[in-house]
Amino acid sequence: MRLFLPFLLIILVISACNNTGSQQTENNGTEASRWTGASDEQLLDSTQRQAFRYFWDHAEPNSGLARERFHPSGDYPQNDSHVVTTGGTGFGLMAILSGIERGYITRKQAVERFRQIVDFLENADRFHGIWPHWLNGRTGEVKPFSRKDDGADIVESAFLAQGLLCVRQYFQDGSETEQALAADIDTFWREMNWNWHTKGENALYWHWSPNYGFEMDFNIQGYNECLIAFVLGASSPTHPIDPAVYHEGWARGGDIVANDSFLGYERVLDYYSGSDAPVGPLFWAHYSYLGLDPRGLTDQYADYELLNRNHALIHYTYCVQNPEGFEGYGEDCWGLTSSYTRNDDGSVGYAGHRPGADRGVISPTAAVSSIPYTPEKSMQAIRGFYEDYGDMLIGPAGLYDAFSPEYDWVAERYLAIDQGPIVAMIENHRSGMFWELFMSCPEVKEGLRRLGFSSPHI
C-alpha cells in the first residue's frame, strides 16, 4: 500500500529536498480576486485544464511519460527530473484523452504523444510483462523504488493498464495509425502476466525482482487503493488470476467487510492498513475508480458507490468538525490524502494524511478528485481554494500539491499521482468519459463477472 511500505520509502526520497520548494506567503489579492464571482463551470474548466498541463507541458521530454514529480523551481532531489512513474503515466494517459475532448489539444497531437509513450514503454524494462514503479525516462531502465523494489510492480502497472485500455478503446475504430496504436496497447495487455504475482497461492504479491524474487513479500489485502489490480488480473485474456485470489487474498475470506460507522457514516469495508485508522487517505477512493465505474457496482462485500461517497463524506465531516483546531479547515477547505507535507521543522516531506494522522495540511486533490461522490461539497472546496488561497496555491500546473493555512505554508510542487485524478475525476463528473471507456472493455466485463460483481455495464 502506498500509504505504508512505499510511503516510508517516499519519505526517504523526498526528505532529501528539505526546505527547498516551500514558502511562507502573504496573500496580495491578485490571483484570488481574479476568480471571485467565477461560475462553477469556469472554475472546473480552469482546474481541469491547468492540471492537464502537468502531463502535457511538463512531461519527461524523451519518453513523453509523466514525471514522478514536477518542481517548478528545479530543485529536484538527486537531479531526478528524468524519473518517470508508470502508475502516474496511466493517469496521464486519461488526462491527455480529456485534452482532446475539451479542445486543449488536437487528436493528431495526442496520437503523436501516445505513439511516443507506447514506443518508449515497448522498449523499457518489463518483467513478465509488468513494468516497475519508476523508470529512467532517458534510458527506459528501471529506477529502483527501494533496494529490493527493482523489478515488477503489479499495482503501478495496473494503474498504467487502466489508462492504456482507455486509450485502446478510444482509438480502436479510428484511422489506420490509431488502430495500430490500439493494437500495440492490446499486445502490452496480453503480455502482462498477472498470475505470476500469485506465486501459485490465493494471494497477489505486489513486487517481484529479478535480483530478489518475491523477497519483499507484500501480500496485497484490502481495503486500500489496489482493487483495480485484482479486477484487471481477473480480466486478463492470457494470464488471469483465479477468483479465489480475490476472495481469499484481497477480501481476506470476507473479513474485508466492516460493520460499523465513523462520524455518522457507514464505513462499508475495513480500511486494512496495518494501523487503527478508521479510514484511509482519500486517494483510496480515486485511483482504482478513474476507469472502474463505482456507480451501481456491487459484489458480496460492498456497494462501491456508497463506499466511496461515504469515504469522502467522512473526510469532509472530519475537516468541518476540525477536532485538532487547525486554521482554515471547513466547508470550503477540506481533503486529506497522501501528498507532500510540512514537517515539524518546516521542511517538505511526504505523509498519508487522514483522520487520525492529521498534520494541518490540506491536499487539494483529495476534495477535487472526490467531485463525482460529493459534487456540491467538492465544488465549494474548489471555490475556496481559488478565492481564498489562489495567491499562494496556483502555479504552472494548477493547484499545488499541498498547503497549510495553519502555518501559512505551501509546497510549490506537484506529484503525478495527485494531478492525474484531478483531471480524470472532473471529467468523469462532467461526462463519465473514462468510466464509459474502461467499462466498455469486453475483458473487464468478463473479469468482473468472474469475481461476482454486478454493474449496469455488465
Quote the CA–CA distance of 155 and 205 in Å, as a whole number. Answer: 9
Residue 277: what pLDDT?
A: 77
Place of cell 481495503: 223
Residue 274: what pLDDT?
A: 60
- If one counts every other C-beta atom within 10 angstroms of the C-beta of residue 169, the result is 21
Kindly report, residue by residue over 294-353, the tens digit of the pLDDT.
Answer: 999 999 999 999 999 999 999 999 999 999 999 999 999 999 999 999 999 999 999 999
Residue 273: what pLDDT?
A: 65
Cell numbers given for 90: 496511466
pTM of the complete model: 0.93
Residues of the chain with pLDDT under 50: 1-29
CB neighbour list of residue 139: distance below 8 Å, 6 or more residues apart: none
Residue 33: what pLDDT?
A: 67
CB neighbour list of residue 111: distance below 8 Å, 6 or more residues apart: 171, 177, 178, 181
378-400 burial, b if ≥16 CB within 10 A, otherwise e?
bbbbbbbbbbbbbbbbbbebbbb
Angle, nearest 10°, between helix axes 154-171 and 107-123?
Answer: 140
Quote the CA–CA distance of 263 and 313 in Å, as a whole number. Answer: 9
Domain 5-444 fold:
Glycosyltransferase (1.50.10)
The domain limits of the chain are 5-444
Angle, nearest 10°, between helix axes 375-393 and 304-321?
Answer: 50
Q: Distance from first CA to last CA of the chain, Å, rounded?
A: 29
Could you please report the per-residue DSSP string of 55-120?
Answer: HHTSS-TTT-PPBSEE-TT---GGG-TTEEEHHHHHHHHHHHHHHHHHTSS-HHHHHHHHHHHHHH
- If one counts every other C-beta atom within 10 angstroms of the C-beta of residue 102, the result is 18
Quote the CA–CA distance of 183 and 229 in Å, as a whole number. Answer: 22
Mean pLDDT of the chain: 93
Enumerate the β-bridge partners of residue 70: 414
Cell numbers given for 388: 481564498
In angstroms and rounded to an integer, the radius of gyration of the C-alpha atoms of the chain is 20
Residue 31: what pLDDT?
A: 60
CB 222 within 8 A of CB 250: yes
H or E segment and range at residue 393: helix 375-393
Quote the CA–CA distance of 231 and 235 in Å, as a whole number. Answer: 6
Quote the CA–CA distance of 329 and 361 in Å, as a whole number. Answer: 9
Greatest alpha-carbon span in the chain: 61
Q: How far is CA 303 from CA 262, 375, 377, in A?
A: 17, 19, 21
Query: Residue ranges of the alpha helices (H) in 274-329?
Result: 304-321
Kindly report, residue by residue over 371-381, the tens digit of the pLDDT.
Answer: 999 999 999 99
Residue 76: what pLDDT?
A: 83
Cell numbers given for 92: 496521464
Residue 190: what pLDDT?
A: 98
CB 414 within 8 A of CB 55: no
Quote the CA–CA distance of 109 and 102 in Å, as a whole number. Answer: 14
